[in-house]
Structure 1
Amino acid sequence: MTIYTLNPELDLVLERTVDVAPELVWKAWTTPELLMRWFAPRPWSTPFCEIDLQPGGRFNTTMRSPEGEEYPNSGCILLVEEGSTLIFTSGLGPGFRPQTAEGEAGFPFTAVISIKPDGNGTKYTAIAMHADSSTRKTHEDMGFAEGWGMALDQLVELVKSR
């Protein structure tokens, strides 16, 4: 079930097929101890992660720069379709409470993670939805494709090593 419509003027998309099972990709996205090992593109790291895997639940992470600066991000899970779809936003806090904190990105956005079986692997789609085209461009210029792509590579590396 798709409950959103892509808007190329507002949304950024990373789509790739990876050679790991969908259940392993899902587990890496929904298990804090695993997410902390791949979520930030190296040399950045993720020293903290808290996930309450239910609508209204927390999706909180902290990213650390190579220089040691920390960037906490508080968010809210909007939708969980076990094993296939995770949607969260930095525009809301736990319990769907509106928040003004903009987190490490510097602006609120909504992430849609879609995980689908594809042969022996997984069709992985990550969408970052933005409120306006200037915010989309800012996220793109920050390196969305490269950063989220590197993080996906690290996710695949992690699940293959387990």
Structure 2
Amino acid sequence: MTITLPTQDTDRDLVLSRVLNAPRDKVYQCWTQPDLLKQWFAPKPWTTPKIVTDFRVGGGSLFTMADEDGNEYPNAGQYLEIVPNEKLVFTDAYTGDWAPSAKPFFTAILTFEDAGEGKTRYTAIARHWSAEDATAHKQMGFHEGWGLCAAQLEELAARI
């Protein structure tokens, strides 16, 4: 039996897609190396002072963002799928080694495709547990925030 999963659920998904002027392997590196993640992950003027990862399927992650006043916002998650230079899937439904989180919000599905001439088609899908969660994330500024971060990601990936 073959099960086909939807690529996009319009009620629960928020999608950001950009062609970045940086090679695919460098964009992927920026998503997988903590020292690089710290440089671009939060929309400025916010920062990402702490990142801890166990980069494997089932491994946990803890990305801590900080606002201008230094208030920290930890985000725990778990990697679900890792395809080097092609795809990353992670969720906040688990916090590592399949330990459930208190309140799942979304799963991120990231794809990195060659767009020719050293460019990358970068697509981020935030798949939420409910349409209400997707609406809340949109109202929190998903497209603006993830868009700013994509620009920061592009700038870093282009120069490393």
- Band of TM-score, shorter chain: over 0.9
2:101 matched to which residue of 1? 99
Between the aligned partners of 2:23 and 2:159, the Cα distance in structure 1 is 13
Q: In structure 2, which of residues 16, 19, 31 is the aligned counterpart of residue 17 of structure 1? A: 19
Letter in 2 for 1:132: S
Which string of whole-angstrom CA distances, capped at 9 and with x for unpartnered residues, describes residues 49-83 of structure 1?
11222110112100001111100011000000111
Q: In structure 2, which of residues 110, 114, 121 is the aligned counterpart of residue 113 of structure 1? A: 110
Q: What secondary structure is seen at the aligned counterpart in 2 of 1:97?
A: coil
Which string of whole-angstrom CA distances, capped at 9 and with x for unpartnered residues, describes residues 24-57 of structure 1?
0000000000001000000000001112221101
Give RMSD over aligned pairs.
Answer: 1.4
CA positional deviation for 1:161: 2.9
Q: How does the TM-score come out when normalised to structure 1? A: 0.92
Aligned runs of 1:63-78 on 2, under 5 Å? 63-78=65-80
Letter in 2 for 1:138: A
Q: What secondary structure is seen at the aligned counterpart in 1 of 2:105?
A: coil
Give unpaired runs (5+ residues) of structure 1: none
Paired positions, count: 156
Aligned runs of 1:9-158 on 2, under 5 Å? 9-100=11-102, 102=103, 108-120=105-117, 121-158=119-156
Q: What secondary structure is seen at the aligned counterpart in 2 of 1:23?
A: helix
Deviating beyond 4 angstroms after TM superposition, the runs of 4 or more aligned structure 1 residues are none
Letter in 2 for 1:58: G
Which string of whole-angstrom CA distances, capped at 9 and with x for unpartnered residues, describes residues 59-108 of structure 1?
210000111110001100000011110000011110011110x4xxxx62
Give unpaired runs (5+ residues) of structure 2: none
CA positional deviation for 1:159: 2.1
Whether the aligned pair in 2 keeps the contact of 1:59 and 1:88 (CA below 8 Å) is no
Whether the aligned pair in 2 keeps the contact of 1:57 and 1:95 (CA below 8 Å) is yes
Identity of aligned residues (%): 38
Q: How does the TM-score come out when normalised to structure 2? A: 0.93
CA positional deviation for 1:157: 1.1
Whether the aligned pair in 1 keeps the contact of 2:23 and 2:158 (CA below 8 Å) is no
